[in-house]
Amino acid sequence: MALNAQKLDVMVPGVEPSGYTIRIGRGMLGGLWDDIRSQWPKLNPFIVTDAELVKAGHLETLVGSETIPTYIIEPAGEISKHIQTVVQIVEMMETNVLGRDSIVIALGGGTVGDIAGFAAAIFKRGVPVVQIPTTTVAQADSSVGGKTGVDSSVSKNAFGAFWQPAAVYIDVETLGTLDDRQYRAGLVESVKHAAIMDAEYFDFFETNIDAILNKDMRVLEQIAMTNCRIKAEVVQQDPTEKNMRRILNYGHTIGHAVESASEFTLLHGESVAIGMIAAGKLEKALGLAADGRLERIEGLLVKLGMSTVIPAEIKKEQLIALLGKDKKAIGQWPRFILLESLGNTLCKNEQWAHEVSRDIVEQCLDDLY
Ligand SMILES: NC(=O)c1ccc[n+]([C@@H]2O[C@H](COP(=O)([O-])OP(=O)(O)OC[C@H]3O[C@@H](n4cnc5c(N)ncnc54)[C@H](O)[C@@H]3O)[C@@H](O)[C@H]2O)c1
Ligand SMILES: [Zn+2]
């Protein structure tokens, strides 16, 4: 039976195969397995998921009564995103006599997607991976674009590869079991997409904020489609982040510093929310902000339950030191993605990341306590 889903094709220049399809729907998890089987009838599936997804019943919905070799990441979450988990996945695939004719199915949030995608990228020099994202972060961001990887004991995503998915299936109903804090924080990436690329989407998000917070599945389906369209548009133009893809880092430069200084007690989206407000303050200081823009962005983030100030225990000096170590710093100071207007990112001399002096950044940070 055909899946009841909307489709979005993503082209990826320069790699084989040259693209993939994202399917988005409500309640289609139970019908996916037949679709995967019929698309890749000759490949042997191997599932990677985590303990929370099993508990929530999503693995059972996906496979029904079939027995498929499955690696269950435990404990769930970032703590398991290290190379040892990948080693165990690869070895379990070998123990199950899987070879180059296998296909990895990633069922879960960004953590599962990043781990499974990386394992697929290196297993026997690479086998296809199908992404079935189940968090607001993964449905808006990590499942599309092909970045995969795991953390080292020194830094995040130290082991990594670009490995484009063979397909992405987004069932927004899986979000029904996601914890509220994770759900809201993940929506910050949607606000970011609207801010950098699509003013109309920003209006839509504002108008429908109550429906979004109440998990109205029809609205969630619409925002999943818009998020994927925006992310796909960016990654198609710059699949390996040479330049334009950097706009997806809006709010992330200061956001990453806040996330790291909080020792990851703040979620990624919660830190990026603060980072987006910081970026808005930089725009104001540089004379780039139209009246009311920052206030609208901040208003939406507050409705999502995000804090708009830096926690007092994080010192400004700590953030400045972390900014100097940003992975994209040049001369120990990062460049910043800035908005030109709501829905448009500033591009000057073909560059998307801009110099902002340390003084201005310090003043804006002072303003955030
Ligand atoms: N590759 C990329 O482009 C990219 C982009 C953004 C983030 N990421 C990565 O994604 C990771 C974060 O992903 P995340 O925010 O999705 O968190 P996550 O995958 O760690 O999931 C958060 C928690 O929610 C649980 N969970 C997931 N889906 C659920 C559901 N439907 N119902 C109940 N529980 C559920 C998980 O088991 C976990 O405990 C980070 O490692 C980050 O680096 C990657
Ligand atoms: Zn992010």
Q: Return the pLDDT at 230.
A: 97
Question: What phi and psi values does residue 160 have, to the nearest 5 degrees?
Answer: -160, 165
Among 11-20, 22-31, 56-65, 267-276, which is the least confidently predicted range? Answer: 11-20
User: Is 96 a residue whose pLDDT tops 90?
Assistant: yes
CB 1 within 8 A of CB 32: no
Amino acid at 260: S
Round to whole Å and give the CA distance between 199 and 212.
18
Catalytic, 37? Answer: no
Catalytic, 362? Answer: no
Q: Return the pLDDT at 71.
A: 98
- 20-63 pLDDT tens trace: 999 999 999 999 999 999 999 999 999 999 999 999 999 999 99
Residue nearest to atom 20 of ligand 1 (CA): 77
Q: State the distance from the centre of ligand 1 to the C-alpha of 152, rounded, in angstroms.
A: 18
When pLDDT is averaged across residues 332-357 and rounded to a whole number, the result is: 94
Work out the percent of the chain whose per-residue pLDDT is above 90: 90
Residue 171 near ligand 1, beta carbon < 6 Å: no
CB 358 within 8 A of CB 320: yes
Residue 252 near ligand 1, beta carbon < 6 Å: no
* pLDDT confidence band for 328 (50 / 70 / 90): confident
pTM for the model stands at 0.96
Q: Return the pLDDT at 317.
A: 95
CB atoms within 10 A of CB 207: 11
When pLDDT is averaged across residues 112-132 and rounded to a whole number, the result is: 98
Q: Return the pLDDT at 156.
A: 86
Q: Return the pLDDT at 14.
A: 80
Q: State the distance from the centre of ligand 1 to the C-alpha of 364, rounded, in angstroms.
A: 30
Q: Return the pLDDT at 109.
A: 98
Q: Return the pLDDT at 1.
A: 67
CB 261 within 8 A of CB 319: yes
Domains of the chain by range and CATH? 6-178 (3.40.50.1970), 247-366 (1.20.1090.10)
- Higher local confidence (pLDDT), 162 or 155: 162
Round to whole Å and give the CA distance between 89 and 160.
16
* pLDDT confidence band for 242 (50 / 70 / 90): confident
Q: Return the pLDDT at 290.
A: 83
Question: Which H/E stretch holds residue 97?
Answer: none
Q: Return the pLDDT at 325.
A: 87
Average pLDDT, whole number, for the chain?
Answer: 95
Residue 114 near ligand 1, beta carbon < 6 Å: yes
Question: What phi and psi values does residue 196 have, to the nearest 5 degrees?
Answer: -85, -25
Catalytic, 125? Answer: yes
Question: What phi and psi values does residue 64 have, to the nearest 5 degrees?
Answer: 60, -130
- 212-240 pLDDT tens trace: 999 999 999 999 999 999 999 999 988 88
Residue nearest to atom 3 of ligand 1 (CA): 142
Q: Return the pLDDT at 331.
A: 83
